[in-house]
Amino acid sequence: MKPYQTALKAALAAVLMAAPASNAFAADITVSAAASLSNAFKDIAAQYEKQYPQDKIKLNTAGSGTLLQQVLQGAPVDVLAFADQETMDKAQAQNVIDTKTRRNFALNSLVIAAPKDSKLKVNTLGDLESGQFDRIAVSNPASVPVGRYTKAALEKAGIWNALQPKIINTQHVRQSLDYVARGEVDAGFVYNTDAALMKDKVKVLKTVPTEKPVSYPIAVAKQTAVRKEAERFTAFVLSPKGQAVLNKYGFKKP
């Protein structure tokens, strides 16, 4: 073989070896997270990418029930973060997650929010039966955790059925928050962290006790093709850096 051919062969070999190596540890990580996590997870994703610039976080947010249906219908996802244990239990029962990676990473609280300039008050849940409250935003309890927490609290108070004519159903907690902020409803059930995002437009009338803690679980999806990176993102959420971001947005440690 002539010298230039040998050199060319060596150069080509070097290029072929180098090309995959440059992307060997790069990954697109699709994270499906509950709507109430939108702002916090955008911040966490930015910090994660700064620490691991070879990775890219693709954030998908919606109601927890919607996210579960998406993955059951074949949508690609690497990490799931829900706003309640029930949805994650369903994911586990459907063999969607790697159960060994399931962890609780945050706590929240349920509140009744009203437009900032509202004069209405809520001392007990029974006050919602008053004629002063005509429209109350509640997320769909069949698919949205905040709706399930709300329904359980109102059923315990014995007023769930009585309030049905007043309830405006929403697709997720952020839609309820928007309705309150725009004054389209007299009150809405949202998370404390959501109300905190719009302090200039909404105020909290009452914190609502829940029988089950408003806890958020996270897990790696079984179908992931980037397991190492998905586990690394999950670990980042649970790390002091991730927890500091969550705390900034009002979430508590589990």
pLDDT category of residue 86 using cuts at 50, 70 and 90: very high
pLDDT tens across 12-27, in order? 444 334 433 334 457 8
- Give just the sign of the alpha carbon dihedral 80, 85, 91, 93: positive
The pLDDT value recorded for residue 222 is: 96
118 is in an annotated binding site: no
| pLDDT exceeds 60 at position 9 | no
CB atoms under 10 Å from CB of 74, counted, come to 8
Q: What percent of the chain has pLDDT over 90?
A: 88
The burial class, CB within 10 Å (0-12 / 13-18 / 19+), for 104 is middle
What average pLDDT does range 115-127 have in this prediction?
97
Mean pLDDT of the 217-242 span: 97
pLDDT in tens, 168-181: 999 999 999 999 99
Mean pLDDT of the chain: 91
Tokens representing residue 169 in the block:
């159903």
Whether 22 has a binding-site annotation, put simply, is no
In angstroms, the CA 250 to CA 73 distance is: 33
What is 110-207's CATH topology? D-Maltodextrin-Binding Protein; domain 2 (3.40.190)
The torsion angles phi and psi of 144, rounded to 5 degrees, stand at: -120, 125
Helix boundaries (H) for 94-184: 145-156, 160-163, 173-181
Q: Is the pLDDT of residue 204 over 50?
A: yes
With pLDDT > 70 as the criterion, what percentage of the chain qualifies?
90
Residues 107/253, Cβ–Cβ less than 8 Å: yes
Q: Per the annotation, does 173 bind a ligand?
A: yes
Per-residue confidence (pLDDT) for residue 8, from 0 to 100: 40
For residue range 32-85, list pLDDT tens digits in order: 999 999 999 999 999 999 999 999 999 999 999 999 999 999 999 999 999 999
| Domain 28-107+214-249: CATH architecture, name and number where available | 3-Layer(aba) Sandwich (3.40)
- Picking from 22, 38, 3, the residue whose alpha carbon sits closest to that of residue 216 is 38
Q: What are the start and end residues of each CATH 3.40.190.10 domain in the chain?
A: 28-107+214-249, 110-207
- Asked whether the beta carbons of 147 and 138 are under 8 A apart, the reply is yes
User: Does the annotation flag 71 for ligand binding?
Assistant: no
Task: Tell me 159's DSSP state.
Answer: -
pLDDT digits (tens, 9 = 90+) for 143-193: 999 999 999 999 999 999 999 999 999 999 999 999 999 999 999 999 999
SS3 percent helix, strand, coil of the chain, rounded to 5, is: 45, 25, 30
pTM of the complete model: 0.84
Q: How far apart are CA 192 and CA 208, in angstroms?
A: 10
- Residue among 199, 191, 151, 154 at smallest CA distance from 174: 191
Q: What is the pLDDT of residues 89-108, one digit of tens each?
A: 999 999 999 999 999 999 99
Output DSSP code: residue 165: G
